[in-house]
């Protein structure tokens, strides 16, 4: 999962891009990058690390221009390192930079086509580089010295026909403008907004509406599935539907975990959806465990807090903050290896004993993926004096890997795969365990104003793009399992692979326009 942003302004955009990426930091903590355009030159800074660590004053001074894009990244499928930090760049045609959130499911096939048919070189195994080169090739086929909006839309129409999977993209064409587009299912989010300035309007595309809010932009709408929005250097905006058979099927895990609660995605308030998750969990508890015996409801911070508050209110049970979170530890879900995740849990959370002592405690989390984190947290609750520890998940059991940009672990590492609820309960050490029903989760996240389905593959194994085979999943399993990740980490430590590499400064090639 990554965060992307693009701005066409009337003054320098480097600070607005930086601030937007800071707001989107929850979407990726592995690497960050910004590229700006000024007088037909590109200026780039990207490196491993958090936004605040990648960009210092000297870097910001070297990012001039009224147009730019930015990216925060977390590694998928075991890949990491600054060689894959974004934005990525190609010099022909025009000079194009691109930032991408999602995952192509046919990237290996496309890589062969790019080399064999398009006569282009790929320098990494990143599917984002595949997207960039396909966009560049399709733009080059338009044979225009000065491309217009229709040329850009034609290239994206051709891209949609070649690419499968999930992708929300912002791309900058040097000297011309910025385009944002989503795959035909709208799996990954992308929003569009504007703000009034003295001479007119400035425009932003971003993964979540909070990025717009933070910079004083007004949300206009979500980019529709298959749609492309083109903003030229003069602030003229054009849009076009570029994909056949588009339908809105966003990833439901955005509402469960990834998105900030103050965001709106496809017309739905993430905060409201999490409130409804809590309401529905409370109803399920009353159906299945009317004599629940819960003394206190405690969230596992931070994502589950909204649902936990509403659950406690609906049950008429006390809500308490029983864990203190270290704000300087990253999100454990996106830690690259199992050993690092285990180590980080006790660094990240500490129990407040008086909230647990001699009480029957209900812990609420957004989901259970590997089960190792919640097992350790349950042990912490017992060590703090809890009499009994119950556990609720605001989402259904995670049983299948994600192929659309979330680094869900290998199937063999998903605690609920092939297990009953009772078996999972025993494995994590809870006195009883309750999962959200998928139908209730879907209902909690559904917009009343838009017809939509949801991409729920991690819960039901149904992959909406229709091209995910057993062979593909087997390959993914081999790349994602922790032994493969630990081997990569050992190679990194031994050989210094991708250690401390960075890229910044002026890209030396002029655009052709």
Number of H helices, E strands in the chain: 17, 23
Q: Name 131's Cβ contacts closer than 8 Å, sequence gap at least 6.
A: 98, 100, 104, 159, 163, 167, 169
Q: Which residues contact 381 (CB under 8 A, 6 or more apart)?
A: 298, 322, 351, 356, 361, 363, 389
Beta-sheet pairing, 200-206 with 3-8? antiparallel
Sheet with 318-319, strands from edge to edge, namely 318-319, 296-299, 360-365, 388-393, 432-435
Indicate the pTM of the whole model.
Answer: 0.91
The answer to whether 2 is a known catalytic residue is: yes
Beta strands 388-393 and 432-435 are parallel
> Per the structure block, which two tokens stand in for 390?
């119950």
Could you write out the DSSP letters of every residue in 310-363? Answer: HHHHHHT-EE---EEE-TTS--GGG-SSHHHHHHHHHHHEEE-GGGTTT-EEEE
* CA-closest candidate to residue 32, choices 40, 23, 317, 41: 23
207/399 Cα distance (integer angstroms): 26
Q: Which residues contact 497 (CB under 8 A, 6 or more apart)?
A: 81, 491
Tens-place pLDDT, residues 425-468: 999 999 999 999 999 999 999 977 677 899 999 999 999 999 99
User: Which tokens go with 505?
Assistant: 């400064």
Give CA–CA dist 75/78, Å, rounded: 6
Average per-residue pLDDT for the chain:
90
Report cis status (omega within 30 of 0) of the bond before 381: no
Q: Tokens 């990491």: give the residue.
A: 80
Side-chain half-sphere CA neighbours of 432 within 13 A = 11
> What element of type H or E holds 103?
strand 96-104
φ, ψ of residue 267 in degrees (nearest 5): 80, 0
Closest CA to 189 of 248, 130, 118: 248
Mention every residue, 6+ apart, whose C-beta is less than 8 A from residue 70: 4, 5, 6, 17, 18, 20, 21, 32, 33, 34, 35, 87, 99
The residue count for the chain: 513
Model pLDDT, residue 505: 61
Classified as helix, coil or strand, 240 is strand
Question: Choosing from 2, 163, 374, 392, which is the catalytic residue?
Answer: 2
Gap between the Cα atoms of 453 and 459, Å rounded:
14
Nearest to 72 by CA among 44, 35, 31: 31
CB hemisphere CA count around 267 (13 angstroms): 11
Give the separation between CA 422 and CA 401, rounded to whole angstroms.
21
Full pLDDT tens readout for the chain, 513 residues: 899 999 999 999 999 999 999 999 999 999 999 999 999 999 999 999 999 999 999 999 999 999 999 999 986 544 545 567 999 999 999 999 999 999 999 999 999 999 999 999 999 889 999 999 999 999 999 999 999 999 999 999 999 999 999 999 999 999 999 999 999 999 999 999 999 999 899 999 999 999 999 999 999 999 999 999 999 999 999 999 999 999 999 999 999 999 999 999 999 999 999 999 999 999 999 999 999 999 999 999 989 999 999 999 999 999 999 999 887 775 555 454 544 555 568 788 999 999 999 999 999 999 999 999 999 999 999 999 999 999 999 999 999 999 999 988 789 899 999 999 999 999 999 999 999 999 999 999 997 767 789 999 999 999 999 999 999 999 888 887 755 555 554 444 444 434 344 566 655 332 323
């Amino acid at each position: 999962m990554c965060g992307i942003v693009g701005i066409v302004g009337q003054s320098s955009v480097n600070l607005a891009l930086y601030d937007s990426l800071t707001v989107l930091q929850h979407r990726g903590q592995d690497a960050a990058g910004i590229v700006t355009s000024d007088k037909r030159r590109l200026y780039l800074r990207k490196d491993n690390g958090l936004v605040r660590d990648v960009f210092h004053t000297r870097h910001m001074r070297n990012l001039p221009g009224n147009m730019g894009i930015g990216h925060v990244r977390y590694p998928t499928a075991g890949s990491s390192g600054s060689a894959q930090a974004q934005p990525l760049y190609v010099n022909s045609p025009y000079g194009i930079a691109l930032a991408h959130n999602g995952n192509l499911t046919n990237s290996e096939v496309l890589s062969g086509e790019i080399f064999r048919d398009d006569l282009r070189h790929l320098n990494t195994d990143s599917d984002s580089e595949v997207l960039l080169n396909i966009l560049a090739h399709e733009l080059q086929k338009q044979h225009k010295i000065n491309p217009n909006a229709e040329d850009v839309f034609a290239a994206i129409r051709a891209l949609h026909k070649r690419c499968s999977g999930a992708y929300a993209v912002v791309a900058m064409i040097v000297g011309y403008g910025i385009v944002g587009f989503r795959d035909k299912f709208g799996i990954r989010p992308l929003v569009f907004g504007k703000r009034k300035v003295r001479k007119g309007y400035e425009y932003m595309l971003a993964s979540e509406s909070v990025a717009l809010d933070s910079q004083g932009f007004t949300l206009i709408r979500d980019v529709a599935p298959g749609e492309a929005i083109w903003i030229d250097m003069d602030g003229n905006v054009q849009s076009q539907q570029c994909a056949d058979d588009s339908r809105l099927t966003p990833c439901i895990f955005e509402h469960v975990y990834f998105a900030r609660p103050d965001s709106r995605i496809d017309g739905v308030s993430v905060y409201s959806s999490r409130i409804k998750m809590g309401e529905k969990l409370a109803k399920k508890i009353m159906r299945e465990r009317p004599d629940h015996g819960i003394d206190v409801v405690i969230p596992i911070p931070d994502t589950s807090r909204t649902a936990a508050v509403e659950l406690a209110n609906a049950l008429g049970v006390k809500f308490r903050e029983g864990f203190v979170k270290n704000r300087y530890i990253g999100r454990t879900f996106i830690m690259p290896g199992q050993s690092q995740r285990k180590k980080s849990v006790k660094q990240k959370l500490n129990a407040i004993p008086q909230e647990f002592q001699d009480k029957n405690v209900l812990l609420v989390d957004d989901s259970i993926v590997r089960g190792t984190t919640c097992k350790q947290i349950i042990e912490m609750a017992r060590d703090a004096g809890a009499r009994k520890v119950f556990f609720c998940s605001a989402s259904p059991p995670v049983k299948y890997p994600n192929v659309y940009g979330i680094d869900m672990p290998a199937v063999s590492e998903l605690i609920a795969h092939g297990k009953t609820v009772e078996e999972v309960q025993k494995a994590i050490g809870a006195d009883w365990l309750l999962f959200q029903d998928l139908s209730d989760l879907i209902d909690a996240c559904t917009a009343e104003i838009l017809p939509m389905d949801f991409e729920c593959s991690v819960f039901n194994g149904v992959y909406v793009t229709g091209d995910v085979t057993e062979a593909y999943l087997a390959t993914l399993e081999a790349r994602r399992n922790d032994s493969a990740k630990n081997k990569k980490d050992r190679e990194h430590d031994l050989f210094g692979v991708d250690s401390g590499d960075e890229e910044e400064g002026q890209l030396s090639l002029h655009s052709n326009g």
